[in-house]
Amino acid sequence: MPVIKRFPQYRLVINERDHNPPHFHVRMNDGREVSVKIDGMEIIHGRVAAREIADALKWARENRLFLMEKFEELQQ
């Protein structure tokens, strides 16, 4: 699972050969994790408040095209 971006309290990853819809995971340093849909930036699985990962969501919105390309690349 390639780490796409590191933040002080969590890291953003995209798993290889993962399921649709295109999404990324935010893995907290304390072990919690959420899945976030790339199109719409909605949390689709997990229990982390959006305010806790605000920096990751902001970065992901600004880099949505890159994330979509990386997701597609890792599914092959």
Q: Which domains does the chain have, with CATH numbers?
A: 3-74 (3.30.457)
SS3 65: helix
CA distances to 16, 33, 47, 58, 67 from 63, in Å: 19, 20, 23, 9, 6
Could you tell me the strand order of the sheet in which 33-37 lies? Answer: 3-6, 10-13, 23-28, 33-37, 43-46
The pLDDT profile of the chain, 76 residues, written as one tens digit per residue, is 799 999 999 999 999 999 999 999 999 999 999 999 999 999 999 999 999 999 999 999 999 999 999 999 999 8
Single pTM value for the model:
0.94
